[in-house]
Structure 1
Amino acid sequence: MIMSFIFAWLFLPVAMFKVPGIPAYTKMSAACYGILIATFIFNPKRISSFKFSWVDIPMVLWCTSPFISSVVNDLGAYDGFSTTQVQIVTWGVPYFLGRIYLDSFAGLRQLAVGLFLGGLIYIPFCWYESRTFSSLHILVYGLNTGRDASQSIRYGGYRPQVFLEHGLMLGVWLMTACLMGITFWRTGVKRVLNQPIVLLLSFLLITFIIARSTGAYTLFLLGLVILFVAWQFRTAILLWILILGICWYLYLGVTGTFPNKQVIDTLSQTFDAERVASVKFRFDNEEILGARARENVMFGWGGFARNRVFDEYGKDISITDSLWIIVFGLQGAYGLATLTASILLPVISFCVRYPAKLWLRPMVAPAATLAVCITLYMFDSVLNAMVNPIFMLAAGGLATVSVKPKQATTAQINGQMAAIS
């Protein structure tokens, strides 16, 4: 299951095929359909092993929120069912697969290993694109992902993308892989694929640097500090602060009280003008999109671009760069709250069940780093709209180990981690 998800994410094309009666066929829906069908045929006990829990409630509410928005806006039940199907495939199925497959610390560790190896696999492809200033996606598949060519040039070089939707998405992927590698090194792993982990991690960090993603750099440093404090001082206080900060930011965004100008002035003192201009552009668009969303604040405007802002000539003057503002406009405060809870509640329940004093245990450490990375992904969604189902896969696994009876996980926590091979 892990190999299928990671292979689909890393190597299938960024393409969409519309099939009547089901959501659009994409790289990740292909993985979801394939894994579900294989599970029903070859391992149906996995399906029957699922037990609904309180931690699953936000995901159910989030997956059904498009139907409510469609009905409230008189768009019809058919539109509601169609958009709900898309939501289920994009978010619900990866979460469900994580719940039934990554149901132990061993399973979450295997996912962490897969993420680290996935980062290593991408090293030569990133170096090739950065060196040749060319797109492997166009070279292999003959398809353009729709990215503006100007966004590929950063800091005097070419920002690689490989087979992902955007260079920003690649940066977050490599950031996650680097944090996983550091976690394995910190918990005593010496060799990976019969090679010294320090050597492989060094190459991965260099590749992460040439990814030229300022946002991913910031997320990486933040994640590293959170893990260092947790490991050294046995407290997850910084992770809790980040979670509260995300929720506070979203509250300010929904109410329209976020101090955009003050934040831009502060950033101008640290970052270059190009990066600050990019953040300002996002804030400006969020301001007009937020005003539009607040006209129908509870359940949003539904589909058909009714959440966008147009001038008197019918021209769209708004750009939706952030996942949170898209959700706020489409499904309102209800949808935004359920999405946030779907992503962060598994992390919160994990941190309550397994405090930071356990995060250096070999079996717990990968799961704890996954919890940090999921939170960093939610933080990234404040500024970007990079939907990555693999984080929901991890969230499903965290939810499972968080609600399992205590005696079912004690042996794993006290166990020793085998070498990666």
Structure 2
Amino acid sequence: MPNAIAYIALFGFPLVAAFLFRRFTLMQAAVLTVLIGYLFLPEKTGVNLPVLPTIDKKSMPAICALIFAALKMKTERRLAIRRGAPVVSVGAETKEDRTPLGRRAAPSRAAPQQRSAQTTHRKATPSARSVTPPSSMPVTKAPNGKLVYLIIGILLFSTIITFLTNRSGLTYGPLRLPAIRPYDMPAMMLNFVIMLLPFWIGWRYLRRPEASRTLLRMLALTGVAYACLVLFEVRMAPQLNTWIYGFFPHSFAQHMRAGGFRPIVFLAHGLRIGIYLSFAVLAAASLMRLEETSRARMLWGLATGFLLLTLLVSKNLGATGITILMLGAVFLMPQRMKLLFAATISAVVLFYPMARAIDVVPTTTLVEWAAKVSPERAQSLNFRFEQENVLLDRAAQKPIAGWGAWGRARVYDAETGKDLSVTDGTWIIFFGNHGWIGYLCVFGLLCLIPIRLMLRRTQLNPSSYDIGLVLVLTAGLIDLLPNSSLVPPLWLITGALWGRYGALRQDIENRQAHQGIEPNDMGMSRAGPRSDPSRRIRKSNPDRPSPSPRA
């Protein structure tokens, strides 16, 4: 049972979030609020309120980040209007984005005169507000927003289909599982909303060009801080959660490995330690390759080595293998190949249930490879594959919208009612509970963004930091197959990439509109009379300033 410190940490977290938003920029504070809440708040601690969402480790950081981000943005816009400065949305590039992280650009000596001249010009020409350079045009709506809203809408609507197809109870000897009731639909919808809150934070507030670099740095820095606690538990046993919060969040036997201990710190399982360290290693390695100064590259190289060493001693074989695979992509592949590699893995993950159903996944070969490393790991992997086969047969009975809640997708003994199933992979959990509709919606949000960036790379030209963040997301996608690691940091990364994709597309349309080019449905310029340079000559208008030339 959680002690008083656990509840104090949970319900006192808004004070931590308020400090972060006061101390850091909006992007940095939003990222830190989600990551610190995930890493340090206690598991299995919360208050289940009627109708309202459960206040726990998953919901508290995201709700705090949304509230304080909205308040800070409103305050900044109000101050900008009072100063007479132009209001720029969260998706637009500003001068601050081109300065080192966390530093504000020093005001030039000519700034007061420029602001005075701009104010006078706006008073003289009211229509000047409608013409702005492409780099500062507001990005209020992303072209990909319709697809995101469509996927989320279908996901929420699927709960109605789940209710209609699961209106009878299930009986296994003495065990009786209830039917899906009408008031279970709002509960399932609310669970989806809470799950997607970090995605919304990334999509809404991490769209600027600096967002990917900020997120990579925060992942690496929080990983370095957490690695110190991981090394402590490697030596002293996983006891921090028990000492501070008064309970152990999982089975202690599962955290004894190879004559030592697998650390857990404040997370739900030691496997989640492994995948977060993998995120941090890949983020630090990407920064080591991309930073401009030799001193910064050296520091991020040291962080990469320290994090990789910590991951090796944490006894997470799967996360270590994923990290080594992705490090090969970081250091050996050109940018285009990195996107192609990430898009290929994303497509495999998206259609993995179909591949398992038609038995094209080489499970026997994978078990043999694992046996060469560790017989114990091979036995564990083979057990997972066997459980997936049983659960797939169960899910095939309700393939459209799944079995719903109350553990109805699990397999039980017909006489004793004993639970015979073990659900490890995130994909089989969603596929069994929500069917093809729920699975394709959730994994579509996760897997489609690397594919879309790859298909539109030439037009969008994503930055190297964006591609580095794509590789971090790809590592998380691979881990979703064997483990239940669909955690808030992964949703935050996904939302940030969707936001960057929308901002890049919007920038293209803004530039085309600024040049008088009519975009087609794909965001490309449409050939025709308007795109002819000879027809772009217009009569000068003294009441309308001329647009700034392209760089």
Q: Pick from 199, 206, 214: which aligns with 2:309? A: 206
Q: Pick from 423, 430, 434: which aligns with 1:327? A: 430
1:225 matched residue in structure 2: 328
Deviations for 1:33-67, whole angstroms, at most 9, x for unmatched residues? 11222244443577994553324432333344334
2:52 matched residue in structure 1: 22
1:71 is displaced (CA, Å) by: 3.4
Separation in 2, partners of 1:387, 1:405:
27
**Residue 189 of structure 2 is aligned to residue 84 of structure 1:** yes
Unaligned stretches of 5+ in structure 1? 411-421
Separation in 2, partners of 1:281, 1:173:
24
**Residue 487 of structure 2 is aligned to residue 388 of structure 1:** yes
Superposition pairs for residues 47-86 of structure 1, below 5 Å? Answer: 49=140, 51=142, 52-74=145-167, 75-86=180-191
1:34 matched residue in structure 2: 64
Separation in 2, partners of 1:238, 1:405:
21
1:107 matched residue in structure 2: 211
1:273 matched residue in structure 2: 375
1:156 is displaced (CA, Å) by: 2.6
1:409 is displaced (CA, Å) by: 7.5
Separation in 2, partners of 1:260, 1:407:
42
Contact kept in structure 2, 1:108 and 1:367, CA below 8 Å: yes
Give the SS at the match of 2:55. Answer: coil
Give the SS at the match of 2:373. Answer: coil
Separation in 2, partners of 1:58, 1:171:
30
Contact kept in structure 2, 1:152 and 1:159, CA below 8 Å: yes
Q: Pick from 130, 133, 136: which aligns with 2:234? A: 130
1:225 is displaced (CA, Å) by: 2.2
Give the SS at the match of 2:372. Answer: coil
Separation in 1, partners of 2:370, 2:58:
38
TM-score (norm 2): 0.68
Separation in 2, partners of 1:61, 1:152:
39
Contact kept in structure 2, 1:116 and 1:178, CA below 8 Å: yes
**Residue range with higher mean Cα deviation, 15-24 or 304-313:** 15-24
Deviations for 1:277-313, whole angstroms, at most 9, x for unmatched residues? 1111111111111111101111111111111111121
Contact kept in structure 2, 1:53 and 1:403, CA below 8 Å: no
Q: Which amino acid aligns with 1:38?
A: F
Residue 158 and residue 268 in structure 1: after superposition, are their counterparts in 2 closer, same or farther (change >3 A)?
closer
1:276 is displaced (CA, Å) by: 0.7
Highest relative contact order (Cα 8 Å, sep 6+), 1 or 2? 1
1:244 is displaced (CA, Å) by: 3.1
**Residue 292 of structure 2 is aligned to residue 262 of structure 1:** no
Superposition pairs for residues 203-352 of structure 1, below 5 Å? Answer: 203-231=306-334, 234=337, 236-253=339-356, 255=357, 257-258=359-360, 262-268=364-370, 270-311=372-413, 312-352=415-455
Contact kept in structure 2, 1:309 and 1:317, CA below 8 Å: yes
Residue 375 and residue 202 in structure 1: after superposition, are their counterparts in 2 closer, same or farther (change >3 A)?
closer
1:264 is displaced (CA, Å) by: 4.9
Contact kept in structure 2, 1:322 and 1:383, CA below 8 Å: yes
Residue 349 and residue 281 in structure 1: after superposition, are their counterparts in 2 closer, same or farther (change >3 A)?
same
Unaligned stretches of 5+ in structure 2? 1-29, 78-88, 91-138, 168-179, 510-551
Separation in 2, partners of 1:115, 1:353:
26
2:35 matched residue in structure 1: 6
Separation in 2, partners of 1:112, 1:61:
31
Separation in 1, partners of 2:300, 2:313:
20
Contact kept in structure 1, 2:41 and 2:266, CA below 8 Å: yes
Residue 60 and residue 346 in structure 1: after superposition, are their counterparts in 2 closer, same or farther (change >3 A)?
farther
1:261 is displaced (CA, Å) by: 5.4
Contact kept in structure 1, 2:388 and 2:428, CA below 8 Å: yes
**Residue range with higher mean Cα deviation, 348-357 or 285-294:** 348-357
**Residue 281 of structure 2 is aligned to residue 178 of structure 1:** yes
Separation in 1, partners of 2:481, 2:273:
17
TM-score (norm 1): 0.87
**Residue 465 of structure 2 is aligned to residue 370 of structure 1:** no
Name the structure with the higher helix share. 1
Q: Which amino acid aligns with 2:59?
A: S
**Residue range with higher mean Cα deviation, 35-44 or 149-158:** 35-44
Residue 356 and residue 289 in structure 1: after superposition, are their counterparts in 2 closer, same or farther (change >3 A)?
farther
Residue 261 and residue 182 in structure 1: after superposition, are their counterparts in 2 closer, same or farther (change >3 A)?
closer
Separation in 1, partners of 2:458, 2:247:
46
Residue 269 and residue 350 in structure 1: after superposition, are their counterparts in 2 closer, same or farther (change >3 A)?
same
Residue 237 and residue 186 in structure 1: after superposition, are their counterparts in 2 closer, same or farther (change >3 A)?
same
Separation in 2, partners of 1:276, 1:229:
29
Contact kept in structure 2, 1:8 and 1:27, CA below 8 Å: yes
Q: Pick from 137, 148, 165: which aligns with 2:268? A: 165
Contact kept in structure 1, 2:342 and 2:450, CA below 8 Å: no
Q: Which amino acid aligns with 2:150?
A: I
Contact kept in structure 2, 1:346 and 1:396, CA below 8 Å: no
1:25 is displaced (CA, Å) by: 1.8
Separation in 2, partners of 1:357, 1:185:
24
**Residue range with higher mean Cα deviation, 307-316 or 72-81:** 72-81
> Alpha carbon RMSD of aligned pairs, Å?
2.8
Q: Pick from 225, 242, 267: which aligns with 1:121? A: 225
**Residue range with higher mean Cα deviation, 15-24 or 43-52:** 43-52
Deviations for 1:76-113, whole angstroms, at most 9, x for unmatched residues? 331011111011111x2111111110012201211111
Contact kept in structure 2, 1:226 and 1:236, CA below 8 Å: no
Aligned sequence identity (%): 26
1:206 is displaced (CA, Å) by: 1.4
Residue 70 and residue 260 in structure 1: after superposition, are their counterparts in 2 closer, same or farther (change >3 A)?
farther
Residue 11 and residue 389 in structure 1: after superposition, are their counterparts in 2 closer, same or farther (change >3 A)?
same
1:399 matched residue in structure 2: 498
1:251 is displaced (CA, Å) by: 1.1
Q: Which amino acid aligns with 1:131?
A: R
1:356 is displaced (CA, Å) by: 12
1:143 is displaced (CA, Å) by: 2.0
Give the SS at the match of 1:43. Answer: helix
1:248 is displaced (CA, Å) by: 4.2
